[in-house]
Amino acid sequence: MTDISIRISATACALAREGSLVHHPGGDLMHVAIGQSVKAGSRRRVRASVEVWLAFLDWLRSQTETIPGDTYEEQRRAGALIRARRAIAKEFDRLAKHPAYRGIGIAGTSSLVLPAYRMGEGRWWPTPDMAAAAADGTTLVMKRAELVPVWRTVVGREFTEWTANPPGC
């Protein structure tokens, strides 16, 4: 399974470690990923699979509701988790613009293997949610693959294109 590395705030990591993340479906894997994260400035670089990131986003969504009368600390905690959720969603949106998902190659070589999903014969997407939203309506079957780089030399220049392989091949 291909992992995606995303930088999230150290505050969100600390809140996730002390919160109920472990009891959420898929949360135990994210708890381990956060425990193995690498500090990068005021953020932490966390590596996890797409499925684990989606479970984490679901947990973040469930933890960000506040009610009138909440303490300042509870509102601050919810605000930090909302910012973390937005940052992760923004990273997935940025990843969707990668040339591999758009079906185009790049000059130079890249060894980046990316997880990919699609429904029908449209383009590949980094998450199942994005693939479902962009489905062409021809099928309800979700396809999963890994976009694997293939290097070519054309007139002395190296190029990288990505081909879809079933996971684990």
How high is the pLDDT of residue 92?
A: 92
How high is the pLDDT of residue 1?
A: 55
pLDDT band at 168 (very low <50, low <70, confident <90, very high): low
Q: Which residue has the tokens 């425990």?
A: 35
Inform me whether the pLDDT recorded for 19 exceeds 80: no
Rounded CA gap, 105 and 151, in Å?
9
Tens-place pLDDT, residues 123-148:
999 999 899 998 888 888 899 999 99
Q: What percent of the chain has pLDDT over 70?
A: 98
CB atoms within 10 A of CB 134: 16
149 by DSSP, 3-state: which?
strand
How high is the pLDDT of residue 167?
A: 67
How high is the pLDDT of residue 122?
A: 84
- Put simply, whether the predicted model's pTM sits higher than 0.75 gets the answer yes
What would the two tokens of residue 65 be?
């509701």
How high is the pLDDT of residue 16?
A: 82
pLDDT band at 112 (very low <50, low <70, confident <90, very high): confident
Tens-place pLDDT, residues 23-47:
788 778 888 888 888 777 778 888 8
Radius of gyration of the chain (CA): 18
The mean of the pLDDT values for the chain is 86
89-113 average pLDDT score: 90
